Amino acid sequence: MDKRFKVLLTTLILLASFFSVVCGASTSFQFYSERLGETTTIRVALPETYVHSSHYEYPLLLVMDGSTQFNHIAGNIEFLSTFAEIPDMIVVGVSANSRLLNFTHTELEQFAGRSGGAENYTKFVFEELLPKLREDYRIAPHVTVTGHSLSGLYTAYLALNHTDRIQAAISISPSLWWDDFAIVNDLASLTAESAKVRWFASMASEPDEMAEGFNALEAALGELSDGNLTWQLRRFPDESHDSTPLIGNVVGLRSVFRGFNAVLQIEVKSLEQLTKYYAEFAEIADYKLSMSVHQYNVYGLKAAYEGQLAWGVEILEAGTKAFPYSEILWDSLATAYTMNDNRAGALTASEKAVEYATKHDSKYLSEILLQNANLKRDIQ
């Protein structure tokens, strides 16, 4: 058996063994596609901050192979976004019923009728599924896609052929060998007029055709003329084909959103400086969204604790105006007011935090209640 098809067969077997995985704190539903003529399982994880506003729209991450990759990616996004490393995102896992058909963009003779359906699948995702998601959820016009192995080939296809559909793509151990490395030839079709896309691709310790394809990609990208495709490649030699999605997606997310964190280490910025920073970031990365709960929270608290208390108060106050139902921001504002000896304001903010933490069954409820009790004791 050809080595490249051994890799393909192994991946398909592994995926089949995971079809019974049940997602935790997420919603799933069945979606019938007229284009595909079949029903697909869709998983959705909303940010914990989704209920902190009635209007804020979140960027979207589409996870291919949703049955196997959805849970760990959604968890990593929750962690990284809490510290403003990457944006808060709505995560959607899409379970493809036929990976070989849907994730390959050319048809091979030995797989006639069972390959080459990537363009049709793209129309399903962006013309059928995405409108439904936008109808049900507050989704901003910023889409990132991530995939592994054959679905990594598919996200590479999107990055090189559909810059009109996405703003960022992650390809973990992509099957670039497909059809004698046909995807690498797509680089030649890129033009300087293409929309801005950030693309991250990685390779683990895979040998033979997998490594050969990645080497060919690296060489082709090195010869690419200046354009709107911004790319980064990484190798993870200590990872296998099956283990690499965990680290690959963390590094990939930080790559396609590099520059997102405006306040690294203990540096601080004022609200005015933050506004200017993200106006410039929008031009660089085609990310035109306003600040999220966690950005206001992280930047406000850092400013308060690093000697710019007035900046911190201003940032957190602006945050509570943008997200009036956020227990996180009200609690942090109470902390900043306390540092500023504004006890009355601190208690008022803390009461708001308790109200919304209770309503949202917040994971921070015990800490919020503790600060509230301390403030009441100090005022008495």
Cα 51 to Cα 55: distance, rounded to the nearest angstrom: 10
Q: Region 237-251: what's the mean pLDDT?
A: 96
Summarize pLDDT for 122-135 with one digit per residue, the tens: 999 999 999 999 99
Cα 222 to Cα 282: distance, rounded to the nearest angstrom: 26
* Interior/surface letters 276-301, b for 16+ CB within 10 angstroms, e for the rest: eebeebeeebbbebebbbbbbbbbbb
Strand runs labelled E in the chain: 27-33, 38-45, 58-64, 90-94, 139-148, 168-172, 197-203, 229-235
Percentage of the chain exceeding pLDDT 90: 83
Cα 254 to Cα 11: distance, rounded to the nearest angstrom: 26
Summarize pLDDT for 131-173 with one digit per residue, the tens: 999 999 999 999 999 999 999 999 999 999 998 999 999 999 9
Q: Is the pLDDT of residue 2 over 70?
A: no
Report the amino acid identity of residue 378.
D
Q: What is the pLDDT of residue 26?
A: 82
pLDDT classification of 16: cutoffs 50, 70, 90 = very low
Coil, helix or strand at residue 28: strand
Summarize pLDDT for 278-326 with one digit per residue, the tens: 999 999 999 999 999 999 999 999 999 999 999 999 999 999 999 999 9
Summarize pLDDT for 323-358 with one digit per residue, the tens: 999 999 999 999 999 999 999 999 999 999 999 999
Q: Is the pLDDT of residue 267 over 90?
A: no
Summarize pLDDT for 191-220 with one digit per residue, the tens: 656 778 999 999 999 999 999 999 999 999
Displacement of CA 131 from its chain's centroid (Å): 19
For the four alpha carbons of 179, 183, 186 and 188, in that order, the dihedral sign comes to negative
Tokens of 172: 């973990």
Q: What is the pLDDT of residue 186?
A: 81
pLDDT classification of 14: cutoffs 50, 70, 90 = very low
Report CA-CA distances (Å) from 256 to 94, 159, 189, 287.
21, 12, 22, 11
Q: What is the pLDDT of residue 265?
A: 85
Tokens of 30: 């069945």
Pairing of strands 168-172, 197-203: parallel
CB 71 within 8 A of CB 21: yes
Tokens of 325: 């139902």
Structural domains present in the chain: 3-256 (3.40.50.1820), 271-379 (1.25.40.10)
C-beta pairs of 67-71 under 8 Å, 24+ apart in sequence: 67/15, 67/18, 67/19, 67/21, 67/41, 67/93, 67/95, 68/14, 68/15, 68/18, 68/21, 69/93, 69/146, 69/148, 69/245, 69/249, 70/23, 70/26, 70/43, 70/45, 71/21, 71/23, 71/24, 71/26
Phi, psi of 325 (to 5 degrees): -105, 20
Q: What is the pLDDT of residue 228?
A: 82
Look at residues 221, 201, 57 and name the one whose alpha carbon lies nearest to residue 143. 57
CB 42 within 8 A of CB 92: yes
Summarize pLDDT for 78-105 with one digit per residue, the tens: 999 999 999 999 999 999 889 999 999 9
CB 130 within 8 A of CB 200: no
Q: What is the pLDDT of residue 223?
A: 83
Q: What is the pLDDT of residue 332?
A: 98
Q: What is the pLDDT of residue 25?
A: 63
Q: Region 172-196: what's the mean pLDDT?
A: 84
Look at residues 218, 96, 72, 92 and name the one whose alpha carbon lies nearest to residue 149. 96
List CB contacts of 155: < 8 A, sequence separation 6 or more: 64, 145, 146, 147, 169, 170, 171, 174
DSSP-derived secondary structure letter, 85: S
Q: Region 47-62: what's the mean pLDDT?
A: 97
